[in-house]
Amino acid sequence: MKYYSTNGKALDATLEEAVVRGLASDKGLYMPRQIKPLPQSFYDEIETFSFPEIAYKVADAFFGEDVPAETLKQIVYDTLNFDVPAVKVKDNIYSLELFHGPTLAFKDVGGRFMARLLGYFIRKEGKKQVNVLVATSGDTGSAVANGFLGVEGIHVYVLYPKGKVSEIQEKQFTTLGRNITAVEVDGTFDDCQALVKNAFMDKELNEHMQLTSANSINVARFLPQAFYYFYAYAQMKKIGKADNLVVCVPSGNFGNITAGLFGKRMGLPVKRFIAANNRNDIFYQYLKTGEYCPRPSVATIANAMDVGDPSNFARVLDLYEGSHDAIASEISGETYTDEQIRETVQKVYEETGYLLDPHGACGYRALAEELKEGEVGLFLETAHPAKFLQTVESIIGVEVKIPEKLQAFMKGTKQSVPMSKDFAAFKAYLMKQ
Ligand SMILES: *Cc1c(COP(=O)(O)O)cnc(C)c1O
């Protein structure tokens, strides 16, 4: 499969080139030349397959031309060593729990897949060290760091905004050591993302070291997120709830929802999508006005969605050939304040006993407000509520049990490299590595 750049000025890349480079040389995002529909027979019997079986069929459509079948199968099965259950919350609203992986957030899927695929390419080529740069507003850092921990030939630099991630999130990528370095940036998530983008564009730095990105701009992280949309559909079909399925995705950088849109292109029968935003409502405003106006991000209690210039918007535009009408016909948007998020967490907990995290709360609320007669809603519960312990406990006034996987991280000692948001300082640091 060839990959082209959304900016249209770079040459096509192979899968390996796209994965190793992350971003195309013209600063565009890579897109596969083809999105292959899966056969009707697959959809007819999808509910009889396991999650890894379904995921492998999807992975084969994306990567089957470039990775030997046995290797790809191994990567998929290793990646998905946890379940992604669709759980009923209320009437016709279901939660797709994406938090049963090692760091309790959906990014484990893409992080684990990418680490394994990149590891395969490095072994195959006998490449020298590859350095992964990843900017995080919270959960990416932990998923990527844990996905890559101990993978030979790869060093990971996690850039995160100082004081803007929760303590548990921070512990998950600052305590690992080995091939993982945490860089604590005095700035916002957008500053971290800008440092990473600048690093990729810097000729001297790229001659000094092989750099790649593990943000959702990387196709190896982004595409595997499609897997669980298919498995979600299979689960809903099994219980007779798959007709008129509306999928709602709490969105920040728009990688997660875009993978779902790819699924729809492959024939997955989702009626429509909802992108739920916090107060960083760039996409919501785009749907309303047809104008894309990025702004500096503002901090919210759903901090993994505090993004002011969502990278994957370029992919959404490309997928619909720039047509606002086409985009608005398949995706609607909602935006919620911290107050509304709090209210939703509390109300759902009181009424149903189901504890939402602040991101999932945006997803739930959008469905509760938008679902029409005859529609069934599924929102992506993108992280475990205990990852946002203080926020969630202060809302419901009840102590939240911390899963064991998280407790293990809390015992580690934080280690980080302090950094200014100034590119020159970051570059000087990397040049010494
Ligand atoms: C990353 C993240 C999001 C946003 O996902 P995007 O792919 O960036 O849109 C939502 N919720 C949680 C918990 C996250 O970690």
- pLDDT, tens digit, 9 for 90 and up, residues 41-82: 999 999 999 999 999 999 999 999 999 999 999 999 999 999
User: 139 CB less than 6 Å from ligand 1?
Assistant: yes
Region 25-29 average pLDDT: 92
Instruction: Please say whether the beta carbons of 67 and 350 come within 8 A.
Output: no
Testing ligand 1's pocket by substitution, the residue of 359, 391, 406 carrying the most ligand atoms inside 8 A of its CB is 359
User: 255 CB less than 6 Å from ligand 1?
Assistant: yes
Give the distance from CA 340 to its chain's centroid.
23
Cα separation of 37 and 192, whole Å? 36
Ligand 1 centroid, distance to 432 Cα (angstroms): 32
Q: Domain residues of the chain, as ranges?
A: 82-103+222-399
Cα separation of 165 and 303, whole Å? 7
Instruction: Please say whether the beta carbons of 160 and 136 come within 8 A.
Output: yes
Give the distance from CA 337 to its chain's centroid.
22
Structure confidence at residue 230 as a pLDDT band (50, 70, 90): very high
Instruction: Please say whether the beta carbons of 348 and 89 come within 8 A.
Output: yes
Region 121-133 average pLDDT: 87
Q: Which of 18-32, 218-232, 402-416 is modeled with the greatest confidence?
A: 218-232
pLDDT at residue 140 in the model: 85
Residue 139 has pLDDT above 90, yes or no: no
Testing ligand 1's pocket by substitution, the residue of 99, 106, 225 carrying the most ligand atoms inside 8 A of its CB is 106
- Spatial neighbors of 51 by CB under 8 A, at least 6 apart, are 80, 83, 84, 227, 228, 231
Q: What is the pLDDT of residues 259-299, one digit of tens each?
A: 999 999 999 999 999 999 999 999 999 999 999 999 998 99
Ligand 1 centroid, distance to 253 Cα (angstroms): 7
Across the chain, mean pLDDT equals: 95
Testing ligand 1's pocket by substitution, the residue of 95, 253, 309 carrying the most ligand atoms inside 8 A of its CB is 253
Residue 99 has pLDDT above 80, yes or no: yes
Structure confidence at residue 2 as a pLDDT band (50, 70, 90): very high
Bridge partner residues of 154 (DSSP) = 130
Ligand 1 centroid, distance to 178 Cα (angstroms): 26
User: 252 CB less than 6 Å from ligand 1?
Assistant: yes
Which amino acid type is present at position 314? A
DSSP string over 133-195 = EEE-SSHHHHHHHHHHTT-TTEEEEEEEETT-S-HHHHHHHHS--TTEEEEEEES-HHHHHHH
Instruction: Please say whether the beta carbons of 181 and 205 come within 8 A.
Output: no
Ligand 1 centroid, distance to 128 Cα (angstroms): 32
- Quick one: which of 248, 320, 312, 246 has its CA closest to 282? 312
Structure confidence at residue 191 as a pLDDT band (50, 70, 90): very high
Residue nearest atom 2 in ligand 1 by C-alpha distance: 304
Place of tokens 């669709």: 86
Cα separation of 256 and 267, whole Å? 18
- Spatial neighbors of 39 by CB under 8 A, at least 6 apart, are none
Per-state percent for the chain, helix, strand, coil, to nearest 5 = 50, 15, 35
pLDDT at residue 369 in the model: 98
The sign of the dihedral angle between the CA atoms of 187, 192, 197, 199 is positive
What predicted TM-score, i.e. pTM, was given to this entire model?
Answer: 0.93
Structure confidence at residue 166 as a pLDDT band (50, 70, 90): confident
Residue 226 is classified by DSSP as G
Residue 167 has pLDDT above 90, yes or no: no
Residue 303 is classified by DSSP as G
* Token reading at 23: 């971003």
Structure confidence at residue 152 as a pLDDT band (50, 70, 90): confident
Q: What is the pLDDT of residues 301-338, one digit of tens each?
A: 998 899 999 999 999 999 999 999 999 999 999 999 99
Instruction: Out of 207-211, 231-235, 313-317, pick the least confident.
Output: 207-211
Residue nearest atom 14 in ligand 1 by C-alpha distance: 304
Instruction: Please say whether the beta carbons of 278 and 341 come within 8 A.
Output: yes
Ligand 1 centroid, distance to 301 Cα (angstroms): 13
Coil vs helix vs strand at 418: strand
Give the whole-number percent of the chain exceeding pLDDT 70: 100
Cα separation of 417 and 29, whole Å? 29
Ligand 1 centroid, distance to 252 Cα (angstroms): 6
Point out the residues that are catalytic: 107
Region 95-124 average pLDDT: 94
Q: What is the pLDDT of residues 333-377, one digit of tens each?
A: 999 999 999 999 999 999 999 999 999 999 999 999 999 999 999
Residue 182 has pLDDT above 80, yes or no: yes
Which amino acid type is present at position 168? I
The residue ranking higher by pLDDT, 127 or 269, is: 269
Instruction: Please say whether the beta carbons of 17 and 2 come within 8 A.
Output: no
Instruction: Please say whether the beta carbons of 144 and 134 come within 8 A.
Output: yes
User: 174 CB less than 6 Å from ligand 1?
Assistant: no
Instruction: Please say whether the beta carbons of 407 and 276 come within 8 A.
Output: no
pLDDT at residue 138 in the model: 74
pLDDT at residue 302 in the model: 96
User: 175 CB less than 6 Å from ligand 1?
Assistant: no
Note the residue count of the chain.
Answer: 433
Q: 82-103+222-399 has which fold?
A: Rossmann fold (3.40.50)
